[in-house]
Amino acid sequence: MASDYTVGDLVAEFLSACGVSTVFGIASVHNIPMLDAIGRRNSIRFMMARGELGGAHMADGYARVSQGLGVIFSSTGPGAANTIGGLIEARFAGSPVLHITGQTSTKFVDRGMGAVHDPVDQLGMMASVCKGAFRIRSAQNALGVLTQAAVLAMTAPMGPVSVEVPIDLQRAKLDRPATLDNFVLPLAPPRVPTDSELDELAARVMASKRPMLWLGNGAKNAGSAAVKLLDMGFGMVSSFNGRGTVPEDHPRNLGGLTGSGMPNITDFYKNVDLCLVVGCRLRGHETNDFQVQLPANIIQIDSDPVANGRTYANQYFVCGDAEATLNGLVSRIEGRFKAVGGYMVEFARLKRASQRAFIETLGVYGTFSAQLRAVMPSDAIWARDVTQNNTTWGNRIFPLNAPNLNVYPVGAGIGQGLCLGIGAAAAAGDRKTVVMTGDGGFFLNVGELWTAVQEDLDMTVIVMNDRGYGVIKRIQDATAQGRRFYADLESPDLEKLAGISEIPYFRCSSADTFGDTVAKALAIKGLTMVEVDMTAVGEFPPYYPFNIKPAG
């Protein structure tokens, strides 16, 4: 008796075996067999995005919060191309996203015969933005290709991977692989440094007296060991994507105050005798294109050997998993190492002074971070778009308690925050998701608001409405002598927009009512919207580097 099991069934079962419970995408002529299998099995939630770009961002947001595999299904050709922006952001963020796309029938592939959705070198297009791109070429190699792709996505440094499944092969029948019965994704164990490497690392730390940590995305699982180092007297700072690895209410955790634009921090760095950089690229975004002068003695720990000295030069490099390496370090120095007397007090004082100084630059918006933190649940997910508010207090001083609560466009692309937040909310369980976006970014992907409506997600969307591209205006002020071309927007009335789908709507028109207004929205389970009328509240002040007066 012939099997009725198809490659489409295999794709659906494979995802379930990998622990995937939610996927995103759009149904199309070139993926119906796979989506039909998902629907028939009824073990995976399929969230219908309004566009493949939004769906790719949702898969990314889902991966960041769930700390597992995010999955986006797209069509072929134009549909696959529409995912590109989302996959580029996933690559920036180090998010394990699996993009599964269709392809024309194998007899037409790569022949330019004009079949429906027939792309030119789709595989090359996807390979140009992903960690890897693969094509399933027979029913028999489908499981192997899917496994290879998922392993690559989940292997540090993690990132997006694309798989093409030609439409004829999606329908192809095969015997169900017995290996799916107790399938475990064959991930390689993280690298643990050798004893000699760890001994050398420990010796270098023991020689320091005023050490600090700089934690990035690759250190998100190393929070416990990092706390132990702080207990020994280390101070710390995070990349924006590594925030929350240690709760940011810790007195010696500067969070996102990396020193860019803050002389009191960079002056303090001059007296730090060891900067232990863990799982972090020391990106130009957080160092003002590498102009921030870091401590001279940098030791770098990273699972990616290519990270060695990629941006700032180091004195010693250890290739290894952040958690395993820091645990090995702690076991060697715990009870033996303590920072010099007074250093911990100095670092705590630095944090307090730096936060005060930063808040003072924000004018009427200086209280927004504290107001929001006071009303937002401690376990709520904080998703943001590129806005003046996020570029300042959202990324730098709003305190976060865990790394998977931190979702924002690492590549600084506008319009991604709402979709990232939708994916985050899909993974949030009983937790609330709070999205902060500007009006420009919000309207770029506003159609995805109805994805959140249809899926009945528990999220509050805060739209900071300054009626234009505020970030762009700041750049124009600094680089185009204040000529603000093409930065003002005519947009729909947000209250009326919310009313179309009966989304509870609230407006904030003064700085001192921000927290109370958001609290009213948070009290309602489901999707709510808060509009902050920035014209009424007041103009957002220039911020670094746009608040620097030219010399002379």
CA dist., res. 338 & res. 299, Å (int): 18
HEC-encoded secondary structure of 445-456: CHHHHHHHHHCC
7-180: CATH topology is Rossmann fold (3.40.50)
Q: How far is CA 243 from CA 74, 212, 215, 239, 240, in A?
A: 32, 15, 8, 6, 6
Four-residue CA torsion sign, 204, 206, 207, 213: positive
pLDDT, tens digit, 9 for 90 and up, residues 482-499: 899 988 888 899 999 999
Partners of 319 in beta bridges: 302
CATH number of this structure's domain 361-537, picked from the four choices 3.40.50.720, 3.40.50.970, 3.40.50.300, 3.20.20.10: 3.40.50.970
195-350: CATH topology is Rossmann fold (3.40.50)
Give the SS3 label for residue 239.
coil
Q: How far is CA 513 from CA 192, 346, 390, 495, 520, in A?
A: 51, 35, 19, 18, 11
Residue 175 exposed, middle or buried by CB count within 10 Å (0-12, 13-18, 19+): exposed
CA dist., res. 226 & res. 54, Å (int): 35
Do residues 118 and 107 make contact, with C-beta atoms less than 8 angstroms apart? no
Q: How far is CA 297 from CA 105, 313, 404, 492, 520, in A?
A: 57, 9, 30, 53, 49
195-350 and 361-537 have identical folds: yes
Do residues 82 and 57 make contact, with C-beta atoms less than 8 angstroms apart? no
Four-residue CA torsion sign, 51, 54, 57, 62: negative
CA dist., res. 68 & res. 469, Å (int): 34
pLDDT, tens digit, 9 for 90 and up, residues 423-464: 999 999 999 999 999 999 999 999 999 999 999 999 999 999
From first to last of its 552 residues, what are the pLDDT tens digits of the chain? 457 999 999 999 999 999 999 999 999 989 999 999 999 999 999 999 999 999 999 999 999 999 999 999 999 999 999 999 999 999 999 999 999 999 888 887 877 767 777 888 999 999 999 999 999 999 999 999 999 999 999 999 999 999 999 999 999 999 999 999 999 999 999 999 999 999 999 999 999 999 999 999 999 999 999 999 999 999 999 999 999 999 999 999 999 999 999 999 999 999 999 999 999 999 998 998 999 999 999 999 999 999 999 999 999 999 999 999 999 999 999 999 999 999 999 999 999 999 999 999 999 999 999 999 999 999 999 999 999 999 999 999 999 999 999 999 999 899 999 999 999 999 999 999 999 999 999 999 999 999 999 999 999 999 999 998 888 888 888 888 889 998 888 889 999 999 999 999 999 999 999 999 999 999 999 999 999 999 999 999 988 877 776 554
Q: Where are the domains of the chain?
A: 7-180, 195-350, 361-537
How is 386-431 classified by DSSP, letter by letter? S-HHIIIIIHHTS--SSGGGEE--TT--TT-HHHHHHHHHHT-TTS
